Amino acid sequence: MFSSVLIANRGEIACRVVRTAKRLGLRTIAVYSDADANALHVRLADEAHYIGPAPARESYLVAERLIAVGRKAGAECVHPGYGFLAENAEFAEAVAAAGMTFVGPPPAAIRAMGLKDAAKALMEKAGVPVVPGYHGELQDPRFLKEKAYEIGYPVLIKPVAGGGGKGMRRVDRHADFEEALQGAMREAAAAFGDSRVLIEKYISAPRHVEIQIFADAHGHCIHLNERDCSLQRRHQKVIEEAPAPGMTPAVRGAMGAAAVAAARAVGYVGAGTVEFIAAGAEGLQPDAFWFLEMNTRLQVEHPVTEAVTGIDLVEWQFRIAAGERLPLAQDEVPLVGHAVEARLYAEDPTRGFVPSTGRLVALEFPRGEGLRVDSGVEAGMTVTPYYDPMIAKIVAHGADRTQALDRLAEALERTLIAGPRSNAAFLAALARAPAFRAGDFDTGFIDRHLADLAPAADEPDRAAAAAAVAALVADEQRRLAREAAARGEPAGSPWLATDGFALAGSSAMVLPVLVDGERRIARVAFRADGPVASLDGVVAAEDVRLVVADGVVYALRRGRQTVVQIDESGLDHDHGGGDGVIRAPMHGKLLALLVDKNAAVDKGHRLAVIEAMKMEHTLVAPFSGVVVEISATAGQQVAEGAVLMVLAPTV
């Protein structure tokens, strides 16, 4: 076994590798950019070294800097994690040239599987089933269009290089092929520097099933069963599970044998994943699956395999890289219960899944039987725009699929994230979706059900917002009570009323607030047990968790976040009606009268200032006129609706 490891990555995977490496007795060496100086993986490692500015191309993707750190720190091996340089053959070669061991497959295997067209040709020779299509070198548009016609529509245009769905186009009609091809080539060139594409038959109701394989340097290769990754959005995996719903021993045997054959065909060593597409309309069949690609690294979703097998895949990676033999034979690989993983991201599903950055004001993950959380962030840290916005991977394991999904949904709904938006509610809805639970799903499931899973944010969560308003008012009551007690004064403000006390016959107040950035008017009633708030007639819900920070309340309910604060920009309002009567918009203290009786004012002229909720509210004239009456005195406590003055319009 090695004595030290350089972890050439960041975030949750770096934290994941650190924990296993320390358990094995390895000295852990982390790297960090400007944006990650205080990151969790930096603090978990035994030592950490700076590698450059925040953008990955200037830090985590600079192989020379990583190699230099490894040499300086005396690392015996380099674990690349996933992403960044994990599947870069040149980096693997540079690691070896520097006298360190690359914890991953041989560079030749990485290259063999790096280009989809070459990989598919290699798989055909190895007897691995491949989706019907054209994977050749000729890229003439007219020729490709002819090939698409021969294959039969619908077809998929896919870039030869890269992945993640970039450059991929589905074409249903021959007449649409040329335009789709041009778009796919442009996007592929921009994303991967390679405009070449391949054409494949589109599989109806496709399921995305992958096989985890492991091979050692002594000629042994096994698979650790499958994972179903069919729940995807824009070709990106969202929820993964093991075993695959509807999997049979016959299909698992056939698919596992094909994955092992694929690995042997490229002389593979270490952990890898062979991905297949399966026709799902008639259920999984041993003769209806085809090779997609091979990921020559650890996968994001590897924890579900660990949950059902009890195997630490990172430990196996280290042991295989150190020259050890596989610890198990194929018939010894366990498969216990069911596991499911959700990728928790800082993004807003109600607004098209746009990334959401900012400081994590609060972050709490649930604990319980069968739950595992892999994360690279903590409360107080900042989600930056420089890297993948993953907050955590929530993994649930149960005796069966129903129990695992129940545990996952409950865990997501109990997760507290204040600050950036998250997809927690969306993921919980997915885990509870009846059709998904019944096994009626494929890779298009999310797109078909998106309106139900992530409804547009047309309206706020009023019940959560009302709870936040009540918290703001209660906080103000406590502040005023403390100040009054410090002065030795009785609590005379109506803000402090807890028994239904009201001035001028009013027992409530209106309060301008911002709810998720939108201007709203809340109403607060004062009762013996505290303030009761409502928004548009909807009262506060009881299942709301509140986080108050810097005058902002984050209301978390069922995985959805609602942000509420006082509407400072909306405090200078016309508070008079057409009759010219100027009334107090809320309970508060009349700080100043800015006009005298008989004064002439123009429309919008500032008339008075009321202090409430630690904010100053300015009242302005609704029209041009003359102040004919003043009914209040500066310094006086006034109730919502109390008459302050009367204006007469200018004739």
Per DSSP bridges, beta strands 362-364 and 416-418 are antiparallel
Beta partners for 418? 362
Query: Which one, of 203, 362, 351, lies nearest residue 291 by Cα?
Result: 203
DSSP calls for 255-280: HHHHHHHHHHHTT--EEEEEEEEEE-
Count the alpha carbons within 13 Å of 205 in the hemisphere toward its beta carbon: 10
Query: Which one, of 607, 354, 590, 588, lies nearest residue 457 by Cα?
Result: 354
Q: What is the maximum span of the chain, computed from C-alpha positions, in angstroms?
A: 101
Question: Any catalytic annotation for residue 462?
Answer: no
Token digits of residue 21: 């490496």
Token digits of residue 546: 């509140």
Which residues, 6 or more positions from 11, have their beta carbon under 8 angstroms from its beta carbon? Answer: 39, 41, 376, 377, 387, 388, 390
User: Is omega for the bond preceding 243 within 30 degrees of 0, making it cis?
Assistant: yes
Query: Which one, of 533, 521, 552, lies nearest residue 467 by Cα?
Result: 533
Token digits of residue 183: 């778009």
Set 297, 319, 343, 414: catalytic member:
297
The 3-state secondary structure of 295-328 reads ECCCCCCHHHHHHHHCCCHHHHHHHHHCCCCCCC
| Phi (first) and psi of residue 53, to 5 degrees | -65, 170
Torsion over CA: 58, 62, 66, 67 (sign): negative
Return the exposure string of 538-571: e unless at least 16 CB atoms fall within 10 Å of the residue's CB, then b: ebbbeebbbbbeeebbbbbbbbbbbbbbbbeeeb
Give residue 576's Cα distance to chain centre.
46
Report the SS3 class of residue 151: helix
CB 127, CB 161: distance < 8 Å: no
Catalytic residue list: 297
